[in-house]
Chains A and B, each alone.
Chain A
Amino acid sequence: MRKPFTTGDLAVAAGVLLVSVGQLLWQRESAVSKVTSATIQEQNARIHRTLPAAAGTLTVSAADGLGDLRIELDGSRARVLSAPCRQQICIRTGWLERAGEVAVCVPSHVVLRLHGEGADAWLDGVTR
């Protein structure tokens, strides 16, 4: 067994960090456009709201009859206010403020995402 922090170890860690920092910078670059809308993807539907016009709170139902999620739209930001899941990761993700950012509640089957104009289109271009 080698002692910690061999050249190989550093190469693995540096490789992973480089990839993540690279993607992070690329995402920042791509998300310079201002936030124009938010989508909430439920199990069977996709709700689209224009920002900042749609400011306010909206309620969506979680999958499997878990309960309801409340989502707050405020100016050009959005967040999950309450959710029926156990770990509450979606709530603790906090405010989404840049185009392309997502908050996910896996047990509820709900994804909240911010969109901008043009520049972050690559995000949906990949999946549609």
Chain B
Amino acid sequence: MEVDLSVKSVSKRFKSFVAVDDVSFEVEKGKFFSILGPSGCGKTTLLRMIAGFEEPSEGAIYIRAQNMANISPNRRPVNLIFQHLALFPMMNVADNIGFGLARRNESKTEIRKKVSDILERVNLPGFEAKKIHHLSGGQKQRVAIARSLVLDPTVLLLDEPLGALDLKLREQMKIELKKLQMEVGTTFVYITHDQSEALVMSDHVAVMNEGRFEQIDSPQNLYTKPASPFVARFVGDNNRLPGKIVGYADGTAELQTASGEKLLIRTDRQLTPGVQAELYIRPESVILEPAQELPELNRLNVLVSSILFDGANTQLLVESPASDDELLISLPQNRQYEHISVKDRIEIGWDARAGNCFPLP
């Protein structure tokens, strides 16, 4: 498989502050690659280095096996979609999209044809003469994408372009962007702090924290098999149960919480008895009021402290002596659990294979 973008041990330092710390990854042609991380983790700096606005302090960036060192942004085969889109307000839609083509000295008729083709592609046919400030948020988004895509870049970089949209539109654009990427087959590198955007759209996601990559994996693996406690916490909701490993045999470890409960964990990780560890349980892995006959189930008695109604995402907040924080549990809205109310004592349980356990350093 052809590799479009290859980043090799890239670091970026601003005086004493390390923004990007020895990051390496490769993106194959036609893939949708996301970099997911909290704000200030260095993901924008990384993207700006790929686009050419910053030079790496160490390491090298290759696009189609060509070293990008000392190549200015206007001569790199990549285009960047800015966080606030940076459409030119002094030009209409056609001039915005044709801007890059005109810089390549393409003929007027050629530009006109390409602009109308790309507008068709992003579902804005006939928008050529519109002024930028007359467009809605979603339309601006599409014009910005069209402006970069029309140049047929090797890699399209996107810097949280959906951040400014409202929720409904963001959901819609997420799907549209993914479809568009599959249609045109351009390699996308997308940065975001919104885990849902990264999971829904990407083929591969890199989770970034404090300048380093914590894990590069498929969205499924990222969610089900997080490689570090940070990934477990950052991608999706998770409940943290700290404790001490008291036993390990045949891939099953036993964790004892501060309050004395013993929890079974089936895991591939080697957990030595005696180490401090954290067990992460997804809210949807927890079974409410499990039947007594279910085997290999960790059970806890908890007190319901509140019900957070949110339609399909309704959750229970419960208190347990096993954890300092309240635990979050999915509450299916199928009328089975309607009798649960605040201040009730209930039993919860989860399969020994459901959690992820990390030994603490």
Chain A complexes with chain B? no
Q: Which residues of A contact B (CB under 8 A)?
A: none
Q: Which residues of B contact A (CB under 8 A)?
A: none
